[in-house]
Amino acid sequence: MNDKRRRLTRLTVTAMLAAAALAMSFFERLLTAGLPLPPGVKPGFSNIAVLFACAAVGLPCALFIVVIKAGFAFLTAGATAGFLSLCGGLLSVLTMFALLKLKRERLTYAGISVCSAVAHNIGQLGAASLLAGSALYLSWLPVLLVSGAVFGAVTGVILNVVMPALTNVRFLR
Amino acid sequence: MKDKLQKIVRPADLIVVAAVLAVAAVLWAVLAHLTGTTAQIVCDGEVIATIDLSAVKEAYDVTLDNGVTVRVEPGAICFAASDCANLLCIHAGKLTRAGQSAACLPNKTLIRITGRDRRGPDALTG
């Protein structure tokens, strides 16, 4: 009974986090709609939900959210966007999982978030190169590295700030 | 107060950010160094046109079979028109330096400036 209940809780929390991730990416699109951001550069607020999922619930939960996000991108922006989202998301989750597994007394979520944002951008760039059948996307890499560092730090600091409040929520434990 | 700050950011986080920015700066510098002016138009993985941009005197448009229009200017190349939905290719703007590229993924079209160093290496170390 207890085990069943735990599984049910995990399912519910995963669904909630997936919904939160989608809501945050939608909100982000509204926020940046008028800004002349270069292609591929975006805040990545949904990374907050994914990193929280990976840290507090587990790797399957984070992977599930990434797949749902890619599915959402597929439905709203097309197959190309879905594929790019999936490649970036998977690489970013694997990066954060590896970093969380390592002893992380020194690194906070800010550092992990920067690494996963950079991994996300590299994954997308790699996928785009694959689709275009050309590896000459290298020139875009510096821009995406800087944007990953800046926005990854922002989302990571946000998670650092809200994490104490979230760990007080009983059913999340 | 210091304790609270420690939870928000720690030195290791800053080192990670600095490392990423340093790698970006080095990449940028290396790419900026490779100045060349030969542009390629690639469709579906095949190079369909190679243009020496330094020899271009007047701007002209090239319309490809898939409906994408590429504008060629003296020393620059860019997407001018496309029927794709997000128009990321056009927003990519003008390409002027070696290593730069822009792509229209829905139409599988890519323009790029190939790296060609004018005078060979600046320095060699042994």
Contact A123, A69 (CB under 8 A): no
Which residues make beta-bridge pairs with B77? B72, B95
Helix (H) or strand (E) holding B48: strand B46-52
Tell me which residue range forms the domain holding A161: 2-172
- Alpha carbon distance, N-terminus to C-terminus of chain A: 17
- Alpha carbon distance, N-terminus to C-terminus of chain B: 52
Instruction: Give the whole-angstrom CA distance, residue B62 versus residue B69.
Output: 6
Q: Does the beta-carbon distance from A145 to B23 stay under 8 Å?
A: yes
Q: Does the beta-carbon distance from A134 to B110 stay under 8 Å?
A: yes
The tokens 């290298």 sit on which residue? A138
Interchain CB contact of A16 with B (< 8 Å): no
Q: How large is the average pLDDT for residues A29-34?
A: 84
- CATH number of the domain that residue A6 is part of: 1.10.1760.20
Report the SS3 class of residue B71.
strand
Interchain CB contact of A77 with B (< 8 Å): yes
Closest-CA residue of chain A to B14: A111
- Mean pLDDT across chain B: 79
Q: Does the beta-carbon distance from A80 to B45 stay under 8 Å?
A: no
- Mean pLDDT across chain A: 87
Q: In the predicted model, is pLDDT for residue A74 greater than 80?
A: yes
Pick from B97, B106, B112: which is nearest to A136 by CB?
B112
Interchain CB contact of A110 with B (< 8 Å): yes
Q: Residue ranges per domain, chain B?
A: 2-32, 36-114
Q: Which residues of A touch B5 (CB under 8 A)?
A: none
- Does residue A133 or residue B86 have the better pLDDT? B86
Instruction: Give the whole-angstrom CA distance, residue B26 versus residue A145.
Output: 11
Could you give the number of structural domains in chain A? 1
Instruction: Give the whole-angstrom CA distance, residue B112 versus residue A51.
Output: 36
Q: Does the beta-carbon distance from B16 to A115 stay under 8 Å?
A: yes
Instruction: Give the whole-angstrom CA distance, residue A146 versus residue A118.
Output: 8
Alpha helices in chain A (DSSP H): 2-32, 46-52, 59-77, 79-101, 109-132, 141-167
Interchain CB contact of B13 with A (< 8 Å): yes
pLDDT tens digits, one per residue of A85-115: 999 999 999 999 999 988 667 888 999 999 9
Model ipTM value:
0.80
CATH topology for B36-114? mini-chromosome maintenance (MCM) complex, domain 2 (2.60.320)
